[in-house]
């Protein structure tokens, strides 16, 4: 029996690749020197796309794959997949929710602690001899008991809030509606008002066209010179130019970011700042979670080709 042909949009760990190659003819577009020529050769036979959250699948790509039936996303976010193009062609879309929630929440909280307490600078202080030469490390800001704003109280936002309770933080959240499961948290509908009452604003909402730049210049300025912005969602949720302006001028105190416009290429302005903590989009990046994500990608593909119900469908 011939193997179904799948298009792999970016590298997967070897443990996934071995499993995928056992079942499918895998075409790695990220290794192609000429993507157009690659798609002209393989595009007509591709039945499935295996992609990653940040890589997605564009309408242009889908248009070059006349036989594609399913897009399986290695990630919870599917904002980079053109859902309208998929719906129009009856192409199924799946993602990997739940299995990554706790790791993403952990990293968000770790970033908040690390940045508040200046841990990266403190390590340099030890390693470069400043401790011995200059004495005590400059004082930083506390975390416990501070006011936290969680923008988006979905699965990840909820787990973030749960962890913040352990630091006795005063927690408020914004979402499209008040959530019945938000015990002990204050609902603040307007993101600007949420930022005004927060020392730390954690951005945890799923990205879509509707949420683009929801963290606007006004939200950033409302957070203020002592405020901290954490982003573990998507760069598009934040007006990045406004963020850079505010970090440079001091209108915003600091930020800790796992996602960037145009990543992995960053706006070089970020690299000059000493009030940011920069992470390489690895909130879900643990061996345990990535194994579970890879399995879910494969389970969705297998269910599709067996004509069974998809475990985690989006469309």
Q: Which residues are catalytic?
A: 234, 263, 281
Min dist CB 88 to ligand 8YV, Å, is 23
Query: In terms of DSSP H, where are the helices of 24-118?
Result: 35-42, 59-63, 83-89, 101-116
Q: If DSSP states are collapsed to H, E and C, what string results for 119-186? A: HHHHHHHHHCCHHHHHCCCCCCCCCCCCEEEEECCCHHHHHHHHHHHCCCCEEEEECCCCCCCCCCCE
Report the greatest alpha carbon distance in the chain. Answer: 71
Min dist CB 50 to ligand 8YV, Å, is 11
Residues engaged in binding ligand 8YV (CB under 6 A): 52-54, 74-77, 100, 281, 284
Min dist CB 74 to ligand 8YV, Å, is 5
**Smaller CB distance to ligand 8YV: residue 100 or 111?**
100
Question: Between vectors from CA 93 to CA 205 and to CA 46, what angle results, nearest 5°?
Answer: 135
Within 13 A of 83's CA, how many CA atoms are on the CB side? 12
- Phi-psi map region of 224: left, alpha, beta (phi>0 left; psi -120 to 50 alpha): left
**Smaller CB distance to ligand 8YV: residue 77 or 118?**
77
Min dist CB 105 to ligand 8YV, Å, is 12
């Amino acid at each position: 029996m011939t193997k179904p042909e799948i298009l792999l949009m970016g590298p997967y760990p070897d443990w996934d690749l071995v499993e995928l190659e056992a079942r499918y003819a895998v075409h790695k577009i990220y290794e192609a020197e000429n993507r157009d020529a690659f798609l002209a050769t393989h595009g007509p036979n591709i039945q499935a796309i295996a992609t990653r959250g940040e890589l997605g699948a564009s309408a242009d790509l889908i248009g070059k794959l006349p036989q594609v039936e399913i897009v399986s996303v290695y990630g919870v976010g599917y904002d980079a997949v053109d859902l309208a193009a998929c719906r129009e062609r009856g192409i199924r879309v799946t993602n990997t929710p739940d299995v990554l929630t706790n790791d993403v929440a952990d990293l968000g909280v770790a970033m908040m602690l690390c940045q508040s307490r200046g841990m990266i600078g403190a390590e340099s202080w030890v390693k470069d001899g400043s401790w011995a030469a200059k004495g005590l490390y400059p004082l930083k800001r506390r975390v416990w008991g501070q006011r936290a704003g969680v923008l988006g109280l979905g699965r990840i936002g909820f787990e973030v809030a749960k962890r913040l309770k352990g630091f006795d933080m005063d927690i408020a959240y914004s979402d499209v509606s008040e959530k019945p499961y938000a015990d002990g948290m204050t609902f603040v509908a307007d993101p600007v008002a949420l930022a005004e009452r927060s020392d730390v604003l954690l951005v945890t909402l799923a990205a879509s066209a509707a949420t683009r730049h929801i963290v606007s210049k006004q939200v950033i300025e409302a957070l203020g010179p002592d405020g901290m912005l954490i982003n573990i969602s998507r760069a598009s949720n934040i007006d990045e130019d406004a963020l850079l302006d505010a970090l440079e001028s001091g209108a915003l105190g600091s930020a800790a970011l796992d996602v960037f416009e145009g990543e992995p290429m960053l706006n070089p302005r970020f690299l000059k700042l000493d009030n940011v903590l920069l992470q390489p989009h690895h909130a879900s990046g643990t061996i345990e979670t990535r194994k579970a994500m890879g399995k879910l990608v494969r389970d969705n593909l297998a269910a599709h080709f067996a004509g069974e119900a998809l475990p985690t469908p989006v469309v």
